[in-house]
Amino acid sequence: MFKRHERATATPEVTITIDGAPYQVPSTLSVAAAVLMHQGAAGYRRHAAGGHRAPLCMMGVCHDCLITIDDAPNRQGCLVTVEQGMRVRRQLDEAAATATRWDTANHASGDEQRGRDDADL
Residues in 52-111 that interact with ligand FES by CB under 6 A: 55-58, 60-65, 76, 78
Distances (CA, A) of 20 to 5, 15, 16, 85: 28, 11, 9, 11
Quote the CA–CA distance of 9 and 40 in Å, as a whole number: 19
Shortest separation between residue 6's beta carbon and ligand FES, angstroms: 25
Residue closer to ligand FES by CB (options 8, 57) is 57
Residue closer to ligand FES by CB (options 1, 10) is 1
Stretch that binds ligand FES, among 7-15, 49-57, 86-94, 100-108 (CB under 6 A): 49-57
| Residues with Cβ within 8 Å of residue 20, at least 6 apart in sequence | 89
Q: Strand, helix or coil at 71?
A: coil
Shortest separation between residue 56's beta carbon and ligand FES, angstroms: 5
Q: Does 41 bind ligand FES (CB under 6 A)?
A: no
Torsion (CA) 100, 102, 103, 105 in degrees, nearest 10: 120
- Chain residues in the site for ligand FES (CB under 6 A): 32, 55-58, 60-65, 76, 78
